[in-house]
Structure 1
Amino acid sequence: MNALTTLPTEQQMYQAIVQRDVRLEGVFVVAVKTTGIFCRPGCKAKTPKRENVEFFATAAEALAAGYRACRRCRPLELAGSVPAWLANLFALINAEPNRRWTNADLDSLGLSPSRVRRWFQAHYQMTFHAYVRTQRIGLAVDQLQAGSDVTSAAYENGYESLSGFRESLKRWLGTVPTAARQIEPILVQRILTPLGPMLAAGGEKGLCLLEFADRKMLAKQFQRINKLFAQPILIGKHAVLSETDRQIQQYFSGERTQFDLPLRLAGTPFQTAVWNQLLAIPYGETHSYQQLANRLGKPTASRAVGRTNGDNRFAIIVPCHRVIRSDGHLCGYAGGLWRKKWLLNWERENLLPAQQRQLKLPTV
């Protein structure tokens, strides 16, 4: 096993599979000697005996050792991928984005409404019905801003009455249909990574947020950007979100060490100064909270620097994971300490190959 797999002990990894701890997905896979199958830590299959398992850093290593992927937890797919039991529902949502969905519709597809609700809350921070509702509102706003009349925007997006349409817009956007033509929403898109799904939020003015979907304070972060930018938040697609996805995938494939994205940092002068210091920490290096405080000319503000780190809305891109204690120990990370360890190890391991790629001369 390489350096990445030395982060948890084997006892910790076995305990994770006993508890089906999905927080450690992306850190390792577990292979079962008696079946020849390897799984994610959170697989719902029967827990194997300790003597019958071995651990690998990646699915590729497990495959190379002769194991085959579990058909139940699908470890070859990115963590957070749409599970097989939801695939048909997503296909229908994409085919009919303006459809009004009910629990009876889910029942008719053989889906448990409560199970569907739990999955959407875990991966989008909202219920299934809120998800499809915000998507419909987003489509209606797009039509209004493209010049469509209110009646068409309402009925073409599943609203049964103009009064219901107006009430929805007022509840979600805080305004009436005619004013919605001038409102630019913040759009939210999910990004899959080896460490679990992330939620990106942004629009024409830039990226507002990028966080792991299981962050405990994520709902408050959405409330903050809603208040900070005075824009409604809806499910949707935008070029800046697609570009964020592309650059994040490049980071995890080892092809990118710096990001080139328009960020809406927006904070107090002190917060903005701290976040800009974070952006200056080189890939593959770590700095201490005290170093950052000294660099800001505020040597007694290391605790305030730590709090501002916790307020960072741009995981990975504004690299707060590169900040450690003065004694070299790691400490809190909103995305989970295990992710912080993984990211630091990944950057250290990838630093030399990245430098070699940058120094490579063009062929003639």
Structure 2
Amino acid sequence: MLFQLPNHETLYEALVARDPSYDGRAYVGVTSTGVFCRLTCPARKPKPENCRFFDTVSACIEAGFRPCNRCHPLAPTAKADPAIEILLDALEKNPGYRWKEDTLITRGFDPSTVRRTFKRHFGMTFLEMARLSRIRNGFETLSRGGRVIDAQIDANFDSPSGFRTAFARLLGQSPSSLMEGGLLRADWIETPIGAMIAVSDKSTLHLLEFADRKGLPTELKKLRRLSKGGLGIGRYGPTNQIEAELAAYFRAESAKFDVPLAFHGSAFTRSVWEVLRQIPVGKICSYSDIAKAVGKPSATRGVARANGANQIALVIPCHRVVGADGSLTGYGGGLWRKQYLIELERRFTVSAKAKK
């Protein structure tokens, strides 16, 4: 189930095409310059005979290559763009600020360029990201038992209708329709790669998704229908547990998730999820590998659907599944997150080897 690099010709074609699907999965060392790059590097392409391909950054360094100063292979893809780094830093320092296109212009950015860049890397614009950040403030107010009007003010929305609409776009229902003390409770968890929404009852975790995932309202609607006890804002014990486990995971201290899970899916879907949980940290596999593991080698498409139906991100590690050729494939949280997670988990394996 280990990823095998495609042949030299395939990788060179991907290099020439600057194929983004190989980001985080393959790197090229250029013997004529001594540097290694992402396959998407904007620099002039070397001759095929001057290329050596590797599957990890550490392999490039061990082979004597130094990182390229143009494509920054040691940094996550998105962070290699200076505009992204500046704006994300500004957003982190002041998450409640109301960003507008005029603000971007005042700060020396072209709004259309920023819009395209963020959309390409994150699947959402910077203004959408900033809006989501403000909603978090309102979400936290409601979680503490605050009134809807207080949540609106804390989220820095001028109009009640604007706040209700933005909130409903996130959770699929208006803030006033959330049940007090519902059987299921939703709360916000911050991570280095974006906010996540966790939903749990008193004993199990039902959902863990990135807050900007477009399918989140639909997933929450299904949960409300299944629970019949309504959805409220707040948290039970499993949410506290997964928050602590996620913190250790992102510090590269532990990839062990012991939080009890509630699976909502068919028998086949649940069998796929169980196999996903057995993929070791730092390893990846293909959809066909999973299909063989569940005893249905021809069910590759079914496996892909089950992968996409996963409602408990990271704990059920669907990010460890790649295309048959090793390229990054669709991930509900965005390919940039998939790249980040795969690179993060390589640190676990490097750390484990160092301890031996």
Give 1:77's match in structure 2, choosing from 70, 75, 78: 75
- Alpha carbons of structure 1 residues 71 and 117: separation in structure 2 relative to 1, 3 Å: same
Amino acid at match of 1:83: D
Amino acid at match of 1:310: R
* Aligned residue number for residue 310 of structure 1: 305
CA distance in structure 2 between the partners assigned to 1:48 and 1:171 by the alignment: 47
Q: CA deviation at 1:265?
A: 2.4
CA offsets 1:262-318 (integer angstroms, 9 cap, x no match): 43421134433553465467888997746634xxxxxxx765686155313267754
Q: Give the greater-gyration-radius structure (CA).
A: 1
- Does residue 335 (structure 1) correspond to residue 337 (structure 2)? The answer is no
CA distance in structure 1 between the partners assigned to 2:155 and 2:105 by the alignment: 22
CA offsets 1:122-162 (integer angstroms, 9 cap, x no match): 44433322222222122112113324344443233221233
Is the contact between residue 5 and residue 56 of structure 1 (CA under 8 Å) also seen in structure 2?
no
- Alpha carbons of structure 1 residues 71 and 123: separation in structure 2 relative to 1, 3 Å: same
Q: CA deviation at 1:23?
A: 1.5
CA distance in structure 1 between the partners assigned to 2:45 and 2:326 by the alignment: 31
CA distance in structure 2 between the partners assigned to 1:128 and 1:322 by the alignment: 27
- Does residue 41 (structure 1) correspond to residue 39 (structure 2)? The answer is yes
Give 1:102's match in structure 2, choosing from 95, 100, 103: 100
What RMSD, in angstroms, separates the aligned Cα atoms of the two structures? 4.8
* Aligned residue number for residue 198 of structure 2: 202
Amino acid at match of 1:37: V
* Aligned residue number for residue 140 of structure 1: 138
CA distance in structure 1 between the partners assigned to 2:131 and 2:143 by the alignment: 18
CA offsets 1:77-131 (integer angstroms, 9 cap, x no match): 2444463322221122112211111112222233332333334334443332222
Q: CA deviation at 1:15?
A: 1.5
SS in 2 for 1:110: coil
* Aligned residue number for residue 111 of structure 1: 109
Give 1:260's match in structure 2, choosing from 250, 258, 261: 258
* Aligned residue number for residue 292 of structure 1: 294
CA distance in structure 2 between the partners assigned to 1:268 and 1:245 by the alignment: 31
Is the contact between residue 44 and residue 73 of structure 1 (CA under 8 Å) also seen in structure 2?
yes
SS in 2 for 1:39: strand
CA distance in structure 2 between the partners assigned to 1:285 and 1:22 by the alignment: 18
Is the contact between residue 144 and residue 150 of structure 1 (CA under 8 Å) also seen in structure 2?
yes
Please report the TM-score for the alignment, with normalisation by the length of structure 1: 0.65
CA distance in structure 1 between the partners assigned to 2:151 and 2:195 by the alignment: 27
CA distance in structure 2 between the partners assigned to 1:277 and 1:224 by the alignment: 25
* Aligned residue number for residue 169 of structure 1: 167
Seq. identity, %: 29
Amino acid at match of 2:144: A
SS in 2 for 1:27: coil
CA distance in structure 2 between the partners assigned to 1:149 and 1:16 by the alignment: 53
CA distance in structure 1 between the partners assigned to 2:139 and 2:159 by the alignment: 16
Amino acid at match of 1:71: N
CA offsets 1:169-198 (integer angstroms, 9 cap, x no match): 345445554445748446576666xxxxx9
Amino acid at match of 1:69: P
Q: CA deviation at 1:75?
A: 1.0
Amino acid at match of 1:311: A
Is the contact between residue 207 and residue 261 of structure 1 (CA under 8 Å) also seen in structure 2?
no
CA distance in structure 2 between the partners assigned to 1:334 and 1:126 by the alignment: 19
Unmatched runs of 5 consecutive residues or more in structure 1:
193-197, 294-300, 324-329
Is the contact between residue 125 and residue 219 of structure 1 (CA under 8 Å) also seen in structure 2?
no
Amino acid at match of 1:247: Y
- Alpha carbons of structure 1 residues 335 and 93: separation in structure 2 relative to 1, 3 Å: same
* Aligned residue number for residue 297 of structure 1: none
Task: Name the count of aligned residue pairs.
Answer: 316
SS in 2 for 1:12: helix
- Alpha carbons of structure 1 residues 14 and 114: separation in structure 2 relative to 1, 3 Å: same
* Alignment of structure 1 residues 24-35 onto 2, 5 Å: 24-35=22-33
* Alignment of structure 1 residues 210-229 onto 2, 5 Å: 219-220=214-215, 222=216, 224-229=218-223
- Alpha carbons of structure 1 residues 223 and 82: separation in structure 2 relative to 1, 3 Å: farther
SS in 2 for 1:55: strand
- Does residue 247 (structure 1) correspond to residue 242 (structure 2)? The answer is no
Give 1:50's match in structure 2, choosing from 48, 52, 62: 48
- Alpha carbons of structure 1 residues 188 and 10: separation in structure 2 relative to 1, 3 Å: farther
- Alpha carbons of structure 1 residues 332 and 265: separation in structure 2 relative to 1, 3 Å: farther
- Alpha carbons of structure 1 residues 179 and 9: separation in structure 2 relative to 1, 3 Å: same
CA distance in structure 2 between the partners assigned to 1:244 and 1:117 by the alignment: 30
- Does residue 90 (structure 1) correspond to residue 88 (structure 2)? The answer is yes
CA distance in structure 2 between the partners assigned to 1:73 and 1:332 by the alignment: 21
Q: Which has the higher contact order (CA 8 A, sep 6+)?
A: 2
Unmatched runs of 5 consecutive residues or more in structure 2:
225-230, 234-238, 331-337
